[in-house]
Amino acid sequence: MRAYTNSKLAGILVTFELQRRVTEAGSPVRAIVAHPGIARTNLAKAAGGSSAVFDRVLGRLFNDAATGALPIEYAATMDVPGGSHVGPDGLGHLRGYPTIHEPSRKARDPRLAREVWDLSVQLTNNAASGRPSATAVA
């Protein structure tokens, strides 16, 4: 679970660093984080084992797939400010309708965001300076 949590944090940090960079470059592009919370799909059933049991027992507590998609649709179609974090409005942000959230303090750390960005550039052997290109943000 730790790797999953860290991967989600890294995604948020990179998105916020991208927003900082496009703003600095004077671009109108907006980078927005959006997540569905927990949505009931066939993924857990297909995984089998404890995931399938979890889905049967607790699945009704979470969004159906269509409602889970709403935060992503909202972020893509509404006039959401760059650097926003959109997710469900319910308990623990696990279910409900789209709203803009304040991410964790760690997710808002600009130093950590730059470090994760720089590491991503290094690990992907990006020959560019780490700045978004016109095609990368278009």
User: Do 41 and 55 contact (CB within 8 A), yes or no?
Assistant: no
How far apart CA 93 and CA 33 sit, in angstroms, is 14
Tokens 């990179």 belong to which residue? Answer: 14
If one counts every other C-beta atom within 10 angstroms of the C-beta of residue 79, the result is: 5
DSSP H or E run through 107: none
Tokens 């989600």 belong to which residue? Answer: 8
User: Do 17 and 116 contact (CB within 8 A), yes or no?
Assistant: yes
- Of the candidates 1, 4, 49, 125, the residue annotated as catalytic is 4
User: Do 16 and 120 contact (CB within 8 A), yes or no?
Assistant: no
Residue 4 a catalytic site member: yes
Annotated catalytic sites, by residue? 4
